[in-house]
Amino acid sequence: MRTVTLEILNDKAMSLLRDLEQLKLLRFRKDSQQATKQAKKKVTFDAVAIDTTGFKFD
């Protein structure tokens, strides 16, 4: 058995790898670094934009 580290470049490659896993030609193993990256929740801030053209402010 060999271990190879891959960098997945797009969703098509990931889909192909999942198909190969279902055929039992390869096996995914969670890496400790990968698990910590996925564990962190990405925080987003949504702002409200208000059109103020035509208003005069002091």
* DSSP sequence for the chain: ---------SHHHHHHHHHHHHTTS------HHHHHHHHSPPP---------TT----
pLDDT tens for residues 8-57?
898 898 899 999 999 999 888 876 565 556 667 777 888 888 888 888 88
Q: What's the pLDDT at 23? A: 93
Q: What sign results for the dihedral spanned by CA atoms 19, 26, 11, 46? A: positive
